Amino acid sequence: MTFRPSILPCLLLPLAVFATPALAAGQAPALPHAAVRVQDDLFLAANGAWLDRTTVPADKSEVYAADLPAIINARVRAIVDDLRRQPQPAGSDARKLVDYFDSEMDTAAIDRTGLGPVRAQLAAIDAIANPLELARWQGRVQGILKTPLWLWGGFADFKDPGTNRVLVMQGGLGLPDRDYYLNKGARMESARAAYLAYLATLAKLSGERHPRAAAQRVLALEKRLAAAHVPAAEATNPARVQPLAAAGLAGTAPGLDWQAFLAGAGIKAGETVNLVHPPGAAAIARLQHELPLDDWKLYFRLRTLDSAAPLLPEPFRAAHFAFRGKALGGQAVPAPRAERALDSLSAALGDALGQAYMHRHFSAQDKARVERIVEVDYLLKPISMERLGQALRKLEARALPNGPVAPKAPLEESSRIFIKDGERCHMVDLAAIRCFESCRNHVQVYFGNQHAYIRKALNAVEERFDHPFNAARKCLMPLVTCCVAKSQLIRKIANNCASLLFTYAYNRFALLSPVLALRVSLPQAQARQTQIIYRGATT
């Protein structure tokens, strides 16, 4: 199921964030592929067995190990059916959800209506008389049609997260991306041929007198658009993004009447937007000036029909599936009408649907768990100091329900300290301690002819001592400096020196690879159990 980005996390939270580790009924656990070694092909070793036994259904372009879309579709369908059983107030979100879904399912009414759903849009395109009106019309259809330069957002500014700005993106292609227009090879040529046939069918069904010629004109225009696009490898570079108002856009990408375009989209004069692909925008705006107005109008007619085809009579729906479902997606048969109607409902009324879904499938306990996650997540994102303070106070209140712990009194030279090192315990006079050595997140303590480890950082140990003791410990300073400078020197202290060997490994099986630290004691030191430490947690 395809979801708008705004509601996808809402619909998946009860399934993903709060899922138990138990497998769904009938779902086999992932097993290594017996015929493939991990060191030869990690992907096939991990997934080959599942790939061998899994087939893609005829009405699907993709399949999942855990079919979350199917689970969510069933839940959403149940929500709509339950709303239909009760009278809903006119104009309410509930009434809209039911009416939209039912109208999508009523194919007989769709077939009777003909081109009615798009007739007003096609008439508006026919009425465009000059480039100024073309720019204004493109602004007005934002959110309905992806124009060659289209608006998305707003989103937090890349360089000023406290400000939300609309993004100006490159787009307007009927094929998936620029490579489909420009690259050679049987696959790309087959896709272009299928697209040309689809455009010709749309042109014929909409009444064009020369549908094949019309399709060729539109494909030629889109090929020039594709050549103007920034390649995918460069398109996501945030360093290219430029915040500009209409005047700046006109200077960076002349050819499109930016003031009319932004005004048509409801963006106020002087307001800044983020131009995401400046080189592509400049080339696309230039094409809007160079190419004939009639070609642009024909192109927008066919793009409008393509976008609306699932809601048009059966010949349009069949042509849409033959190209987008079969030629591009590899489906043998269309997905059930109800499933496609749910996709469309989610795209059109995602906020209302998300609210109904969360009300049913997102409990108060789930909400509390998410809030705890968000509180920690705040620490990783640019936020206001006020919200950061609130998050920290909540975390502190949970960690310390009885209030802050009073600081311990500093140790004096006459004090005795208890040191637990593995299974060994020591009561040591502070005066007998010769030095402390910083060993990453541990401290090695030397006393008499022995030494032991304290699982604390050096600064945590140092906080317990008063200044006179600090003055007697100046010998630690070179060691600390050596550690900070990442020196390769292996430090030796007294006769029973211990050596630290740190081995770093990259864990290819985790999204965030932990750093492994392996501590090995030399034979001169008393034998103790080897420990493997993951980011400070001992196993």
* Strand-by-strand arrangement of the 242-244 sheet: 149-156, 164-170, 273-275, 242-244
- What is the rounded distance in angstroms from the CA atom of residue 259 to the CA atom of residue 253? 12
DSSP-assigned letter for residue 442 = E
Contact in structure between 454 and 442 (CB atoms under 8 Å): yes
Task: Describe the chain by its helix, strand, coil percentages, rounded to 5.
Answer: 50, 10, 40
CB atoms within 10 A of CB 493: 15
Mean pLDDT, residues 53-71: 78
Q: Which of 40-44, 248-252, 436-440 has the lowest mean pLDDT?
A: 436-440
- What is the rounded distance in angstroms from the CA atom of residue 133 to the CA atom of residue 144? 18
Q: pLDDT for 162-217, tens place per residue?
A: 889 999 999 999 999 999 999 999 999 999 999 999 999 999 999 999 999 999 99
Per-residue model confidence (pLDDT) at position 66: 65
What are the Cα distances from residue 232, in Å, to 74, 191, 227, 515?
A: 35, 19, 12, 33
* H or E segment and range at residue 444: strand 442-447
Name which residue leads in pLDDT, 438 or 228: 228
Say which amino acid occupies 186: A
Mean pLDDT of the chain: 77
The packing angle between helices 350-361 and 68-85, to 10°, is 90
Task: Dump strand ranges (E) for 251-369.
Answer: 273-275
Residue 334, phi then psi, degrees to nearest 5? -65, 155
Per-residue model confidence (pLDDT) at position 290: 96
Contact in structure between 108 and 287 (CB atoms under 8 Å): no
In the predicted structure, residue 21 carries a pLDDT above the cut 80: no
Largest CA distance in the chain: 103
386: left (phi over 0), alpha (psi -120 to 50) or beta: alpha
Predicted TM-score (pTM) of the model is: 0.63
Contact in structure between 229 and 213 (CB atoms under 8 Å): no
In the predicted structure, residue 297 carries a pLDDT above the cut 90: yes
* H or E segment and range at residue 151: strand 149-156
Residue percentage of the chain with pLDDT more than 90: 47
Q: Show the tokens assigned to 355.
A: 């609210």
Per-residue model confidence (pLDDT) at position 133: 97
Name which residue leads in pLDDT, 352 or 458: 352
Q: Which of 106-110, 347-351, 459-463 has the lowest mean pLDDT?
A: 459-463
411: helix, strand or coil: strand
Per-residue model confidence (pLDDT) at position 195: 98
Per-residue model confidence (pLDDT) at position 531: 28
Name which residue leads in pLDDT, 395 or 496: 395
